[in-house]
Structures are given as C-alpha cells and as structure tokens.
Amino acid sequence: MSTELDAERMMRYDANRKSVLVAYVLWFFLGWFGLHRIYLGRIGSGIAMLVLHGLSWLTHFILIGFLGFGILGLWWLIDALLIPGMARVYNNRLIDELARS
C-alpha cells in the first residue's frame, strides 16, 4: 500500500513540478510581461511586472514610460539569476504538500 501511495505522489509531483528550462524560455521571450514569474507561482510580482509594462507603454510618449522600461529591464536581468531558486522553492513546496496528503 505504501509503495502505491509513493508512486501516486511521484506521478503527481512529476505532473505538477516546474521546469527551470521552461522558466528560462518564458523569461527570455515573455519576461517583460512577467509570465516566467506567474509560471513559477509568483503571481503577485508577475502581475506587477505586467502592469508596469502596460503603464510604461501608456506613458512612453511623455517620456515617463522609459523609466518604467528601465526598471523592468533591470528586474528582467536580475530574474535571470533568481529563476533556479524560484523553481526550487516551488518544487519543494509541492513536495511538502504531497507529503502531507
């Protein structure tokens, strides 16, 4: 019985874990929109990036938006270093949830 439960937990983990490679692909192509953060379970900061991106586009014609784009660019570059840790935290949290069930 225990091996069946362990096998089920492993299958659920494999189905729900987050890949660092997928996160980097999202970061590279759609990182300005914060989709890599949403993928990794950081929904609040992902939405904040998306809103900042939209506001920057709306205000770029009065030159204020370029400040927002600069902030996003710096945030985007820093996230390149943080992605492995964010994926590890998400996957460890998933392991803890599956162990309790």
Rounded mean pLDDT of 67-73? 96
pLDDT at 1 over 60: no
Q: Is pLDDT larger for residue 4 or for residue 51?
A: 51
Question: Per residue in 14-41, pLDDT tens?
Answer: 999 999 999 999 999 999 999 999 999 9
Rounded mean pLDDT of 4-12? 89
pTM assigned to the model: 0.91
As for how many domains the chain has, the answer is 1
CA-to-CA separations, 56 to 33, 65, 87, 99, in angstroms, rounded? 12, 4, 28, 43
Sign of CA dihedral 79, 83, 84, 88: positive
- In 3D, which of 23, 32, 38 has the Cα closest to residue 77? 32
Give the domain range for residue 67: 2-100
User: Which residues have a Cβ under 8 Å from the Cβ of 73 and sit 6 or more positions away?
Assistant: none
